[in-house]
Protein backbone atom coordinates (compact mmCIF):
# COMPACT_ATOMS: atom_id res chain seq x y z
CA UNK A 1 0.00 0.00 0.00
CA UNK A 2 1.34 3.43 -0.93
CA UNK A 3 1.49 5.60 2.19
CA UNK A 4 2.50 8.68 0.21
CA UNK A 5 -0.74 10.57 -0.58
CA UNK A 6 1.06 12.47 -3.31
CA UNK A 7 2.17 9.28 -5.04
CA UNK A 8 4.81 9.62 -7.72
CA UNK A 9 4.97 13.42 -7.21
CA UNK A 10 7.23 12.97 -4.20
CA UNK A 11 9.66 10.98 -6.30
CA UNK A 12 10.44 14.10 -8.36
CA UNK A 13 10.79 16.34 -5.26
CA UNK A 14 13.52 14.93 -3.05
CA UNK A 15 12.52 15.04 0.60
CA UNK A 16 8.93 16.17 -0.14
CA UNK A 17 7.34 13.63 2.21
CA UNK A 18 9.77 14.57 4.97
CA UNK A 19 8.98 18.28 4.38
CA UNK A 20 5.26 17.55 4.64
CA UNK A 21 5.66 15.59 7.85
CA UNK A 22 7.85 18.34 9.28
CA UNK A 23 5.24 20.97 8.34
CA UNK A 24 2.45 19.16 10.16
CA UNK A 25 4.72 18.42 13.11
CA UNK A 26 5.59 22.10 13.34
CA UNK A 27 1.91 23.06 13.22
CA UNK A 28 1.16 20.60 15.99
CA UNK A 29 4.02 21.95 18.12
CA UNK A 30 2.71 25.49 17.64
CA UNK A 31 -0.77 24.38 18.68
CA UNK A 32 0.65 22.60 21.71
CA UNK A 33 2.69 25.69 22.59
CA UNK A 34 -0.38 27.94 22.34
CA UNK A 35 -2.34 25.51 24.49
CA UNK A 36 0.40 25.48 27.13
CA UNK A 37 0.73 29.29 27.08
CA UNK A 38 -3.01 29.88 27.43
CA UNK A 39 -3.28 27.20 30.11
CA UNK A 40 -0.53 28.84 32.13
CA UNK A 41 -2.21 32.25 31.92
CA UNK A 42 -5.74 31.19 32.79
CA UNK A 43 -4.91 28.55 35.40
CA UNK A 44 -5.37 30.96 38.37
CA UNK A 45 -8.80 31.91 37.03
CA UNK A 46 -9.89 28.24 37.09
CA UNK A 47 -9.40 27.73 40.83
CA UNK A 48 -13.01 28.69 41.72
CA UNK A 49 -14.21 26.14 39.15
CA UNK A 50 -12.20 23.37 40.82
CA UNK A 51 -13.83 24.38 44.11
CA UNK A 52 -17.31 24.31 42.57
CA UNK A 53 -16.81 20.86 41.04
CA UNK A 54 -15.22 19.67 44.28
CA UNK A 55 -18.54 20.30 45.99
CA UNK A 56 -19.96 17.58 43.75
CA UNK A 57 -16.99 15.31 44.55
CA UNK A 58 -15.55 15.56 41.04
CA UNK A 59 -11.85 14.53 41.36
CA UNK A 60 -9.44 17.32 40.57
CA UNK A 61 -7.69 15.32 37.84
CA UNK A 62 -11.04 14.80 36.10
CA UNK A 63 -11.82 18.52 36.32
CA UNK A 64 -8.37 19.37 34.99
CA UNK A 65 -8.76 17.05 32.00
CA UNK A 66 -12.15 18.55 31.16
CA UNK A 67 -10.77 22.09 31.37
CA UNK A 68 -7.82 21.17 29.11
CA UNK A 69 -10.16 19.69 26.52
CA UNK A 70 -12.36 22.80 26.55
CA UNK A 71 -9.30 25.03 26.14
CA UNK A 72 -8.03 22.89 23.27
CA UNK A 73 -11.39 22.93 21.45
CA UNK A 74 -11.74 26.70 21.94
CA UNK A 75 -8.31 27.24 20.41
CA UNK A 76 -8.94 24.84 17.53
CA UNK A 77 -12.23 26.50 16.56
CA UNK A 78 -11.56 30.14 17.51
CA UNK A 79 -11.41 31.22 13.83
CA UNK A 80 -14.84 29.71 13.13
CA UNK A 81 -16.75 32.08 15.42
CA UNK A 82 -17.49 35.78 15.16
CA UNK A 83 -19.29 38.67 16.82
CA UNK A 84 -18.95 40.09 20.30
CA UNK A 85 -17.22 38.26 23.12
CA UNK A 86 -20.53 36.94 24.48
CA UNK A 87 -21.54 35.73 21.03
CA UNK A 88 -18.21 33.94 20.52
CA UNK A 89 -18.49 32.27 23.91
CA UNK A 90 -21.99 31.01 23.02
CA UNK A 91 -20.88 29.68 19.63
CA UNK A 92 -17.85 27.90 21.08
CA UNK A 93 -20.01 26.42 23.84
CA UNK A 94 -22.13 24.64 21.23
CA UNK A 95 -18.99 23.47 19.43
CA UNK A 96 -17.67 21.96 22.67
CA UNK A 97 -21.02 20.26 23.34
CA UNK A 98 -21.08 18.84 19.82
CA UNK A 99 -17.47 17.68 19.72
CA UNK A 100 -17.20 16.41 23.29
CA UNK A 101 -20.65 15.39 24.55
CA UNK A 102 -18.91 13.11 27.07
CA UNK A 103 -18.12 16.20 29.22
CA UNK A 104 -21.80 16.63 30.04
CA UNK A 105 -22.26 12.89 30.55
CA UNK A 106 -19.34 12.65 32.98
CA UNK A 107 -20.32 15.71 35.03
CA UNK A 108 -23.98 14.71 35.17
CA UNK A 109 -22.82 11.36 36.57
CA UNK A 110 -21.51 13.39 39.52
CA UNK A 111 -24.93 15.12 39.70
CA UNK A 112 -23.62 18.47 38.51
CA UNK A 113 -26.69 20.46 37.32
CA UNK A 114 -26.87 21.23 33.62
CA UNK A 115 -26.87 25.01 34.20
CA UNK A 116 -23.75 24.66 36.36
CA UNK A 117 -22.04 22.67 33.60
CA UNK A 118 -22.89 25.37 31.06
CA UNK A 119 -21.56 28.09 33.36
CA UNK A 120 -18.29 26.21 33.96
CA UNK A 121 -17.64 25.48 30.29
CA UNK A 122 -18.49 29.06 29.27
CA UNK A 123 -16.21 30.45 31.99
CA UNK A 124 -13.28 28.45 30.61
CA UNK A 125 -14.07 29.52 27.04
CA UNK A 126 -14.34 33.17 28.06
CA UNK A 127 -10.97 32.97 29.82
CA UNK A 128 -9.41 31.51 26.66
CA UNK A 129 -10.83 34.21 24.39
CA UNK A 130 -9.68 36.98 26.72
CA UNK A 131 -6.13 35.67 26.55
CA UNK A 132 -5.65 35.08 22.82
CA UNK A 133 -5.51 38.67 21.69
CA UNK A 134 -9.19 39.45 22.09
CA UNK A 135 -9.49 43.21 21.71
CA UNK A 136 -12.47 44.64 23.64
CA UNK A 137 -12.44 47.77 21.48
CA UNK A 138 -13.83 45.59 18.70
CA UNK A 139 -17.13 45.75 20.58
CA UNK A 140 -16.88 49.52 20.97
CA UNK A 141 -17.10 52.20 18.33
CA UNK A 142 -14.12 54.44 17.70
CA UNK A 143 -13.97 57.69 19.65
CA UNK A 144 -15.98 60.52 18.07
CA UNK A 145 -15.61 64.20 18.93
CA UNK A 146 -18.82 66.04 19.78
CA UNK A 147 -17.05 69.37 20.16
CA UNK A 148 -17.34 71.95 22.90
CA UNK A 149 -14.80 73.42 25.30
CA UNK A 150 -14.91 71.56 28.61
CA UNK A 151 -13.13 72.60 31.79
CA UNK A 152 -14.08 69.39 33.65
CA UNK A 153 -14.93 65.80 33.08
CA UNK A 154 -18.42 65.04 31.73
CA UNK A 155 -21.49 63.49 33.35
CA UNK A 156 -24.17 61.50 31.55
CA UNK A 157 -27.75 60.38 32.20
CA UNK A 158 -30.53 58.70 30.24
CA UNK A 159 -34.27 58.89 30.87
CA UNK A 160 -35.34 56.66 27.96
CA UNK A 161 -34.26 54.39 25.16
CA UNK A 162 -31.88 56.13 22.75
CA UNK A 163 -31.94 59.31 24.87
CA UNK A 164 -28.70 60.75 26.25
CA UNK A 165 -28.08 63.90 28.29
CA UNK A 166 -24.45 64.97 28.81
CA UNK A 167 -23.21 67.70 31.16
CA UNK A 168 -19.87 69.36 31.82
CA UNK A 169 -18.39 72.53 33.26
CA UNK A 170 -17.75 75.22 30.66
CA UNK A 171 -14.88 77.72 30.34
CA UNK A 172 -16.76 80.23 32.56
CA UNK A 173 -17.42 77.54 35.19
CA UNK A 174 -21.04 77.37 34.06
CA UNK A 175 -22.98 74.14 33.50
CA UNK A 176 -23.05 72.95 29.90
CA UNK A 177 -25.71 70.56 28.54
CA UNK A 178 -25.94 68.63 25.27
CA UNK A 179 -28.39 65.86 24.39
CA UNK A 180 -29.05 63.12 21.85
CA UNK A 181 -32.74 62.76 20.94
CA UNK A 182 -32.41 59.53 18.97
CA UNK A 183 -31.65 61.30 15.69
CA UNK A 184 -29.07 64.00 16.32
CA UNK A 185 -27.01 65.85 18.90
CA UNK A 186 -28.28 69.24 20.08
CA UNK A 187 -26.14 72.36 20.31
CA UNK A 188 -24.56 73.12 23.68
CA UNK A 189 -26.96 74.68 26.20
CA UNK A 190 -25.56 77.03 28.89
CA UNK A 191 -27.32 76.50 32.23
CA UNK A 192 -25.44 79.07 34.37
CA UNK A 193 -23.99 78.45 37.80
CA UNK A 194 -20.49 78.63 39.30
CA UNK A 195 -19.16 75.10 39.49
CA UNK A 196 -15.88 74.09 41.12
CA UNK A 197 -16.04 70.43 40.09
CA UNK A 198 -17.24 68.10 37.40
CA UNK A 199 -21.03 67.62 37.52
CA UNK A 200 -22.93 64.40 38.24
CA UNK A 201 -26.29 63.49 36.70
CA UNK A 202 -29.00 60.85 37.00
CA UNK A 203 -32.59 60.25 35.89
CA UNK A 204 -35.24 58.55 38.02
CA UNK A 205 -38.15 58.93 35.60
CA UNK A 206 -39.16 59.84 32.08
CA UNK A 207 -38.10 63.38 31.18
CA UNK A 208 -36.60 63.89 34.65
CA UNK A 209 -32.93 64.74 35.25
CA UNK A 210 -31.11 65.71 38.47
CA UNK A 211 -27.68 67.35 38.28
CA UNK A 212 -25.24 67.94 41.15
CA UNK A 213 -21.91 69.75 41.44
CA UNK A 214 -19.65 71.41 44.01
CA UNK A 215 -20.19 75.14 44.46
CA UNK A 216 -17.80 78.04 45.18
CA UNK A 217 -18.05 77.44 48.96
CA UNK A 218 -17.36 73.71 48.46
CA UNK A 219 -21.03 73.06 49.12
CA UNK A 220 -23.25 70.57 47.26
CA UNK A 221 -25.38 72.19 44.55
CA UNK A 222 -28.47 70.63 42.95
CA UNK A 223 -30.43 71.52 39.81
CA UNK A 224 -33.17 69.52 38.08
CA UNK A 225 -35.26 69.30 34.92
CA UNK A 226 -38.93 68.46 35.63
CA UNK A 227 -39.98 67.87 32.04
CA UNK A 228 -40.79 71.52 31.33
CA UNK A 229 -38.07 73.71 32.79
CA UNK A 230 -34.80 73.81 34.71
CA UNK A 231 -34.92 74.74 38.39
CA UNK A 232 -32.58 77.24 40.01
CA UNK A 233 -29.55 75.86 41.84
CA UNK A 234 -30.33 74.48 45.31
CA UNK A 235 -27.69 74.61 48.08
CA UNK A 236 -27.56 71.31 50.01
CA UNK A 237 -24.62 72.23 52.24
CA UNK A 238 -21.67 70.09 53.23
CA UNK A 239 -17.94 70.54 52.66
CA UNK A 240 -16.90 68.61 49.55
CA UNK A 241 -13.33 67.83 48.54
CA UNK A 242 -14.39 66.15 45.30
CA UNK A 243 -17.02 66.08 42.63
CA UNK A 244 -20.25 64.43 43.77
CA UNK A 245 -21.73 61.17 42.50
CA UNK A 246 -25.41 60.28 42.31
CA UNK A 247 -27.52 57.17 41.80
CA UNK A 248 -31.25 56.42 41.90
CA UNK A 249 -32.80 53.04 42.68
CA UNK A 250 -36.44 54.16 42.51
CA UNK A 251 -38.87 56.87 41.55
CA UNK A 252 -38.19 60.13 43.40
CA UNK A 253 -35.19 58.55 45.17
CA UNK A 254 -31.70 60.08 45.03
CA UNK A 255 -28.48 58.93 46.71
CA UNK A 256 -25.55 61.37 46.57
CA UNK A 257 -21.95 60.58 47.53
CA UNK A 258 -18.93 62.85 48.05
CA UNK A 259 -15.46 62.81 49.55
CA UNK A 260 -15.20 64.77 52.79
CA UNK A 261 -12.35 66.75 54.32
CA UNK A 262 -11.05 63.61 56.07
CA UNK A 263 -11.11 61.69 52.73
CA UNK A 264 -14.00 59.55 53.99
CA UNK A 265 -16.99 58.71 51.81
CA UNK A 266 -20.11 60.66 52.75
CA UNK A 267 -23.70 59.89 51.75
CA UNK A 268 -26.85 62.02 51.60
CA UNK A 269 -30.21 60.90 50.22
CA UNK A 270 -33.61 62.21 49.14
CA UNK A 271 -36.46 59.86 50.13
CA UNK A 272 -39.16 61.63 48.16
CA UNK A 273 -40.03 64.04 50.98
CA UNK A 274 -36.82 65.43 52.46
CA UNK A 275 -33.03 65.31 52.37
CA UNK A 276 -31.21 63.29 55.04
CA UNK A 277 -28.23 64.51 57.03
CA UNK A 278 -24.77 63.46 55.86
CA UNK A 279 -23.79 59.86 56.67
CA UNK A 280 -20.09 59.00 57.10
CA UNK A 281 -19.30 55.70 55.33
CA UNK A 282 -15.59 55.71 56.12
CA UNK A 283 -12.73 54.55 53.95
CA UNK A 284 -9.79 56.54 52.62
CA UNK A 285 -10.45 57.52 49.00
CA UNK A 286 -8.19 59.55 46.74
CA UNK A 287 -10.71 60.52 44.07
CA UNK A 288 -14.28 61.51 43.63
CA UNK A 289 -16.66 58.59 44.16
CA UNK A 290 -18.95 57.07 41.54
CA UNK A 291 -22.34 55.47 42.15
CA UNK A 292 -24.80 53.37 40.19
CA UNK A 293 -27.89 51.26 40.91
CA UNK A 294 -29.00 48.11 39.08
CA UNK A 295 -32.09 47.34 41.14
CA UNK A 296 -34.45 48.43 43.90
CA UNK A 297 -32.60 49.30 47.12
CA UNK A 298 -29.24 48.41 45.53
CA UNK A 299 -26.32 50.84 45.21
CA UNK A 300 -22.74 50.21 44.10
CA UNK A 301 -20.10 52.85 44.89
CA UNK A 302 -16.59 53.03 43.44
CA UNK A 303 -13.55 55.22 44.15
CA UNK A 304 -9.78 55.22 43.83
CA UNK A 305 -7.82 54.03 46.86
CA UNK A 306 -4.50 55.04 48.39
CA UNK A 307 -2.59 52.71 46.04
CA UNK A 308 -4.47 54.11 43.03
CA UNK A 309 -6.49 50.90 42.93
CA UNK A 310 -10.22 50.58 42.30
CA UNK A 311 -12.30 50.30 45.48
CA UNK A 312 -15.89 49.04 45.63
CA UNK A 313 -18.58 49.25 48.30
CA UNK A 314 -22.24 48.33 48.00
CA UNK A 315 -25.61 48.60 49.74
CA UNK A 316 -27.69 45.39 49.52
CA UNK A 317 -30.91 46.81 50.98
CA UNK A 318 -29.97 46.16 54.61
CA UNK A 319 -26.35 47.14 55.17
CA UNK A 320 -23.22 48.55 53.60
CA UNK A 321 -20.44 46.12 52.69
CA UNK A 322 -16.82 46.66 53.57
CA UNK A 323 -14.57 48.15 50.91
CA UNK A 324 -13.48 45.64 48.25
CA UNK A 325 -10.09 46.08 46.53
CA UNK A 326 -10.41 45.44 42.77
CA UNK A 327 -6.81 46.32 41.85
CA UNK A 328 -5.66 48.32 38.85
CA UNK A 329 -3.75 51.57 38.49
CA UNK A 330 -6.17 54.49 38.05
CA UNK A 331 -5.24 58.08 37.19
CA UNK A 332 -8.79 59.41 37.54
CA UNK A 333 -11.96 58.79 39.45
CA UNK A 334 -13.99 55.87 38.09
CA UNK A 335 -17.25 55.85 36.13
CA UNK A 336 -19.89 53.14 36.28
CA UNK A 337 -23.02 52.05 34.45
CA UNK A 338 -25.41 49.13 34.66
CA UNK A 339 -27.12 47.61 31.62
CA UNK A 340 -29.26 45.11 33.54
CA UNK A 341 -29.71 43.46 36.94
CA UNK A 342 -26.44 42.31 38.53
CA UNK A 343 -24.32 43.74 35.68
CA UNK A 344 -21.74 46.48 36.25
CA UNK A 345 -19.44 48.21 33.75
CA UNK A 346 -16.67 50.33 35.30
CA UNK A 347 -14.29 52.70 33.51
CA UNK A 348 -11.37 54.92 34.49
CA UNK A 349 -8.34 56.59 32.95
CA UNK A 350 -5.19 54.48 33.01
CA UNK A 351 -1.50 55.24 33.45
CA UNK A 352 -1.08 56.04 29.74
CA UNK A 353 -4.24 58.19 29.56
CA UNK A 354 -6.06 55.29 27.94
CA UNK A 355 -9.55 54.14 28.90
CA UNK A 356 -9.62 51.24 31.37
CA UNK A 357 -12.61 48.90 31.45
CA UNK A 358 -13.61 46.27 34.02
CA UNK A 359 -16.96 44.52 34.33
CA UNK A 360 -18.98 42.32 36.68
CA UNK A 361 -21.00 39.70 34.76
CA UNK A 362 -23.14 38.60 37.70
CA UNK A 363 -20.64 36.03 38.95
CA UNK A 364 -17.12 37.43 38.76
CA UNK A 365 -15.06 40.51 37.92
CA UNK A 366 -13.14 40.61 34.65
CA UNK A 367 -9.54 41.67 34.44
CA UNK A 368 -8.85 45.29 33.52
CA UNK A 369 -9.07 45.74 29.76
CA UNK A 370 -7.21 48.57 28.03
CA UNK A 371 -9.17 50.48 25.38
CA UNK A 372 -7.44 52.83 22.97
CA UNK A 373 -7.52 56.65 22.95
CA UNK A 374 -6.08 59.49 25.01
CA UNK A 375 -8.41 61.17 27.47
CA UNK A 376 -7.71 64.17 29.71
CA UNK A 377 -10.43 63.69 32.33
CA UNK A 378 -12.28 61.03 34.21
CA UNK A 379 -14.80 59.24 31.97
CA UNK A 380 -18.58 59.12 32.33
CA UNK A 381 -20.73 56.12 31.46
CA UNK A 382 -24.45 55.48 31.04
CA UNK A 383 -26.73 52.79 29.65
CA UNK A 384 -29.94 53.61 27.79
CA UNK A 385 -30.90 49.98 27.09
CA UNK A 386 -30.22 46.36 28.02
CA UNK A 387 -27.21 46.04 25.71
CA UNK A 388 -26.35 49.71 25.13
CA UNK A 389 -23.40 51.41 26.76
CA UNK A 390 -22.18 54.98 26.11
CA UNK A 391 -18.89 56.37 27.43
CA UNK A 392 -17.78 60.02 27.42
CA UNK A 393 -14.55 61.82 28.33
CA UNK A 394 -12.70 65.07 27.64
CA UNK A 395 -10.21 64.91 24.79
CA UNK A 396 -6.81 66.49 24.24
CA UNK A 397 -8.47 69.57 22.68
CA UNK A 398 -10.83 69.92 25.66
CA UNK A 399 -13.63 68.62 23.44
CA UNK A 400 -16.22 66.01 24.39
CA UNK A 401 -15.34 62.50 23.19
CA UNK A 402 -17.88 59.69 22.84
CA UNK A 403 -17.75 55.95 22.14
CA UNK A 404 -20.41 53.27 22.48
CA UNK A 405 -21.29 49.61 22.16
CA UNK A 406 -24.57 47.78 21.62
Give the start-to-end residue ranges of the domains of the chain. 11-134, 137-405
Tens digit of pLDDT for each residue in 78-116? 989 888 888 899 999 999 999 999 999 999 999 999 999
Bigger pLDDT: 226 or 370? 226
Tens digit of pLDDT for each residue in 212-261? 999 999 999 999 999 999 999 999 999 999 999 999 999 999 999 999 99
SS3 sequence, the chain? CCCCCCCCHHHHCCCHHHHHHHHHHHHHHHHHHHHHHHHHHHHHHHHHHHHHHHCCCCCHHHHHHHHHHHHHHHHHHHHHCCCCHHHHHHHHHHHHHHHCCHHHHHHHHCCCCHHHHHHHHHHHHHHHHCCCCCCHHHCCCCCEEEECCCCCCCEEECCCCCCEEEEEECCCCCEEEEEECCCCECCCEECCCCCCCCCEEEEEECCEEEEEEECCCCCEEEEEECCCCECCCEECCCCCCCCCEEECCCCCCEEEEEECCCCCEEEEEECCCCECCCEEEECCCCCCCEEEEEECCEEEEEEECCCCCEEEEEECCCCECCCEECCCCCCCCCEEECCCCCCEEEEEECCCCCEEEEEECCCCECCCEEECCCCCCCCEEEEEECCEEEEEEECCCCCEEEEEEC
Q: What integer pLDDT is reported at residue 367 of this predicted model?
A: 85
Question: What pairs with residue 393 in β-bridges?
Answer: 401
Q: What integer pLDDT is reported at residue 22 of this predicted model?
A: 54
Q: What percent of the chain lies above the pLDDT cut of 70?
A: 91
Q: What integer pLDDT is reported at residue 14 of this predicted model?
A: 52
Q: How many Å from the N-terminal Cα to the C-terminal Cα in the chain?
A: 58
Q: Is 28 exposed, middle or buried (0-12, 13-18, 19+ CB in 10 A)?
A: exposed
- CA nearest neighbour of 387 among 161, 132, 185, 98: 161
The pLDDT confidence band at residue 386, using thresholds 50, 70 and 90, is confident
pTM higher than 0.75, yes or no?
A: no
- On the question of pLDDT at 38 being above 50, the answer is yes
- On the question of pLDDT at 21 being above 70, the answer is no
Among 186-190, 345-349, 360-364, which stretch is predicted with the lowest mean pLDDT? Answer: 360-364
In angstroms, the CA 300 to CA 15 distance is: 66
- CA nearest neighbour of 382 among 158, 183, 127: 158
Tens digit of pLDDT for each residue in 60-80? 999 999 999 999 999 999 989
Q: What integer pLDDT is reported at residue 5 of this predicted model?
A: 47
The pLDDT confidence band at residue 40, using thresholds 50, 70 and 90, is confident
Q: What integer pLDDT is reported at residue 134 of this predicted model?
A: 53
Tens digit of pLDDT for each residue in 131-171? 876 555 567 999 999 999 999 999 999 999 899 999 999 99
The pLDDT confidence band at residue 23, using thresholds 50, 70 and 90, is very low
The pLDDT confidence band at residue 387, using thresholds 50, 70 and 90, is confident
The pLDDT confidence band at residue 6, using thresholds 50, 70 and 90, is very low
- Calculate the average pLDDT of the chain: 91
Q: What percent of the chain lies above the pLDDT cut of 90?
A: 78
Q: What integer pLDDT is reported at residue 399 of this predicted model?
A: 98
Q: Average the pLDDT over 173-192 and give the result.
A: 96
Q: Which fold has domain 137-405?
A: Neuraminidase (2.120.10)
Tens digit of pLDDT for each residue in 299-324? 999 999 999 999 999 999 999 999 99
Q: What integer pLDDT is reported at residue 47 of this predicted model?
A: 87
Amino acid sequence: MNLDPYGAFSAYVPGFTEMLIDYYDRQQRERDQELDNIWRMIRPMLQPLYTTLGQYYVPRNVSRHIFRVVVQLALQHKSEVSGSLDQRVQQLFYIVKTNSPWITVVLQAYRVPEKEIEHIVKTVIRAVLEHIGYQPEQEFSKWESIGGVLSSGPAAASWGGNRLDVFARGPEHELLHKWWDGGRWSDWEHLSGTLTSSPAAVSWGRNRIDVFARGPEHELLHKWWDGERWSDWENLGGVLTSSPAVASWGENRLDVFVRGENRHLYHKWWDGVRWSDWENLGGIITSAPEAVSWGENRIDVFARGTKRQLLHKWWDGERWSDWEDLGGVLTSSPAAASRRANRLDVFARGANEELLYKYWDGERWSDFLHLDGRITSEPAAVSSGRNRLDVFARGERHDLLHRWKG
